[in-house]
Chains A and B, each alone.
Chain A
Amino acid sequence: MTATVSATAAPGVGPAAAVRPAARLSTAKPGGRRHLLSIADLDREGIEEILRLTDMFVEVSERPIPRVPALRGKTVVSLFFEDSTRTRLSFEMAAKRLSADTMSFSVSTSAVKKGESLRDTVETIEAMGIDAIVVRHSAAGVPWQIANWTEGAAVINGGDGWHEHPTQALLDCYTIRQQRGRLDGQRIAIVGDIRHSRVARSDVLAFTALGASVTLVAPPTLLPPTLAGWPVEVSHRLDEVLPSCDVVYLLRLQRERMQEALLPSLREYTATYGLTRQRARLLVPGALIMHPGPVNRGVEIAAEVADQPNSVITRQVRNGVAVRMAVLYLLLGSGVDLGV
């Protein structure tokens, strides 16, 4: 059994998350595999450990030659069943800066189309002798399944369906901490399509674990069927929430939501839940504007607002590489000198 795959533990929020397995990522753990599957597997200390390490890798990234030999000889595979060039490149750059070898396996163009099963694909890749698999899949839970089928490789959840995207939440925490000093006591509004958002689920877990208070702002059709047990407030009026928040986090709206009768039109969405130029004036000075990207300019956020000085969207992207370096280092590092 591995440390962080918890087949019986609740990868959730709220009461179930209170019984989180004590399965922090730790470099000290001898033998056994470690994974990063869910923010729920990390307690506050585990998240803070990653953020502290990220500070070091941010410093590495600013060097003229932003590279350390920490993972020399290790191989990191990105196994993406769903297109996400941004996340894939971010992980690959993180691996390269740690001197790991990288392989990229984009399955939409490969085996699964020929009827090869998910498990066959995974076992074939593992047989090549790799150290970590970054998995992205449109179905919730696939990283758990893969962790159960593999023996040697660490599994990193690069986003599973509507469920979780733990490295995104970690980089979001890092960015907020970097800009505002801490998460404790911060009032964070997450706005938009919470129901279908892996980012929102991971962010709620991470932000609240670090002491922030979270308000979800969305029409009922874009909220999960129930929020029982979620440590959040809910609002359907963005105008009422904006003046009292320290961070407003906008989620990407998929355009096909209209076909599912979840929204009447993009126009109505923007009018009620979009961060328009006018609405952005309700924010207190210094309040951060965040977005996981890619941005639908003019839908969830006005173009000018995305470019305002208090928008940290590009900083999130930059921090993403350093956070992923920290995660890879914690999972794969042998404890040798970082060379920093």
Chain B
Amino acid sequence: MSDGPFNQAVLIRGGTVVDATGKRVGDVLIRNGVVEAVGLDLDDAIAGAQVLDASGCIVGPGLVDLHSHLREPGREESETVETGARAAALGGYTAVVAMPNTDPPIDCAAVARQVFELGARATCEVAVAGAITVGRAGKLLAPLAEMADLGIRLFTDDGNGVQDARLMRRALEYASALGVTLAQHCEDSSLAAGGHMHEGEWSSRLGIPGQPGEAEELMVMRDLALSRLTRAPIHFLHLSTATSLQMVRVAKQGGARVTAEVAPHHFSLTDAAVASYDTVFKVNPPLRPPADVAAVKAALADGTADAIATDHAPHAQEDKEAPFDQAPPGMLGLETALALAVTELDLPIERLLALLSWQPAAIAGLAGRHGGPIVAGAAANLCVIDPEVTWVVDATRLASRSRNCPYAGRTLTGRVRHTVLRGEPVVIDGEAQR
């Protein structure tokens, strides 16, 4: 917040409260950034509170995104911390993890501090992921301890996988003393080289060079082995193939310290979309065939995947309006993730919120402030969701500075109605308040 804590009392009235402890009907009274009371008939408790209507809605903990590319510093024409955070708030997020592939990259305390400062004024909490290696170049360890001292809990070279097995082993060992988690973008770069979509039937027909799912799977397999060797935790970013998820499933059964996220586009789009040659469908890891999409959904249903993470990756229109093999990979995600989950996944709302809120909060080290039970004394980071309403995605009306949304024109079910950050309603009835 810009000028001190938000002091006005807020009453979220008429909703059903859902958190990790269960589901109950009740109003939520908020004051001075914390939940003051949860119950029925709180109207009399306070006069002059700002009332947010939640009738027919779910009142849940704010969503937490493990994977947002906010582009600042360096690519402010495609997104800034401010615009990305606004998109996040509209999507129901009260916290996002900003990925370090900025320019310069977040590979030292100075750049991390800059992003934290930008985030302090934003409409969601901006946590930061630091790079594992200097310049994300995969050669030398970045100063992990120095960044951990600033509160950074996740490290990744996202955009690149750490190719060198020996370096990755050392990074896991070194990080294990810091209480932080390394997160891997799984891609064997030599096998994936030159591939601009999933290698399979569609790439064969379309004449677009592909990358096989095995490029992802090789690194999942390697890093499971390295995590076992070092006894350090590992988090897998945006897993997208049936085999990757099966390896994680088996590893978890064996007690491995592994967590995994999947992205909304990997459960709602297939590689057939690329037949349009529209570069909005170019993303990395690439869109996969229906069998992998089904496997991603199954992994969300059975707990193999711990989180839905957006991989929100804004790109300026002029960059996307390039030949398919030259366009940068990535698509917007923050404003559509929840609705895609409601629409595409056959899961109850408490399971969806586990995947979108408290489980990612735990992975990001944000559980103290986000995703916790909605009880008196808890931080007032909340979102109010209408799970029934349908809406049509209009890419021209998104808060993100970019327009590379692959769901334009699609009818989705479920929408965020209000978002409350530290007691302040930053989104009311689907409108950003600042």
Contact = CB atoms under 8 A, between A and B. Distances in A.
A198 B201 contact: no
Contacts of A225: 199-200, 203-204, 210, 212
Nearest to B319: A117
A289 B95 CA distance: 66
Contact of A139 (B203, B204, B325): B325
A82 B206 CA distance: 19
Interface stretch (A7-15, A175-183, A304-312): A7-15
A13 B208 contact: no
A162 interface: yes
B323 interface: yes
A141 B205 contact: no
Given A8-B276, A225-B204, A118 B322 contact: yes
B279 to A, nearest CB: 8
Given A12-B202, A117-B318, A164-B207, A141 B323 contact: yes
A160 B326 CA distance: 14
B275 interface: yes
Contact of B207 (A14, A145, A201): A201
A85 B272 CA distance: 34
Interface string B170-206: 0000000000000000000000000000011111111
Given A7-B278, A11-B275, A225-B200, A198 B322 contact: no
Nearest to A200: B207
Nearest to A13: B205
A96 B324 CA distance: 33
B204 A224 contact: yes
A226 B202 CA distance: 9
A145 B277 contact: yes
B321 interface: yes
Interface in A200-242: 201, 224-230
B48 to A, nearest CB: 54
A141 B324 contact: yes
Interface in B199-241: 199-210, 212
A14 B202 CA distance: 11
B275 A10 contact: yes
A140 B206 contact: yes
A284 interface: no
A139 B275 contact: no
Nearest to B198: A225
A139 B205 contact: no
A118 B201 contact: no
Contacts of B199: 225
B278 A201 contact: no
User: Which interface residue of B201, B205, B209 has the most chain A CB atoms within 10 A?
Assistant: B205
B321 A118 contact: yes
Contacts of A224: 203-205
A137 interface: yes
By size class, the interface of chain B is: 20 to 34
A7 B325 CA distance: 18
B278 to A, nearest CB: 7
User: Which interface residue of A12, A14, A227 has the most chain B CB atoms within 10 A?
Assistant: A12
Contacts, number: 86
B208 A161 contact: yes
User: Which interface residue of A13, A119, A161 has the most chain B CB atoms within 10 A?
Assistant: A161
A142 B327 CA distance: 12
A144 interface: yes
Interface string A125-160: 000000000000111111011000100000000001
A201 B321 CA distance: 25
Contacts of B278: 7, 145
A34 interface: no
B323 A226 contact: no
A198 to B, nearest CB: 6
A12 B276 contact: no
B204 A144 contact: no
A229 B275 contact: no
A16 interface: yes
User: Which interface residue of B206, B209, B322 has the most chain A CB atoms within 10 A?
Assistant: B206
B139 to A, nearest CB: 25
Contacts of B325: 139-140, 161
A224 B210 CA distance: 10
Contacts of B277: 140-142, 144-145
A145 B206 contact: no
A165 B324 CA distance: 17
A163 interface: yes
B204 A141 contact: no
Nearest to B202: A12
A141 B208 contact: yes
Given A9-B275, A10-B272, A162 B207 contact: yes
User: Which interface residue of B212, B272, B276 has the most chain A CB atoms within 10 A?
Assistant: B276
Interface string A230-274: 100000000000000000000000000000000000000000000
A201 B201 CA distance: 13
Given A8-B275, A9-B275, A201-B205, A145 B200 contact: no
Nearest to B274: A141
A11 B210 CA distance: 17
A112 to B, nearest CB: 10
Contacts of A10: 205, 272, 275
Contacts of A9: 275
Interface string B117-161: 000000000000000000000000000000000000000000000
22 contacts: A7-B278, A12-B205, A14-B205, A16-B205, A117-B318, A118-B321, A118-B322, A118-B323, A138-B323, A139-B323, A141-B323, A142-B323, A145-B279, A145-B323, A160-B207, A162-B208, A163-B206, A225-B203, A225-B204, A225-B210, A225-B212, A226-B204
Interface of B: 199-210, 212, 272, 275-279, 318, 321-326
Give the 5 A-B residue pairs with the shortest CB-CB distance, closest first: A141-B277, A163-B207, A12-B205, A139-B323, A162-B207
Given A118-B321, A224-B205, 11 more contacts: A16-B205, A117-B318, A117-B322, A141-B208, A141-B323, A144-B276, A145-B277, A160-B207, A164-B207, A224-B203, A230-B204
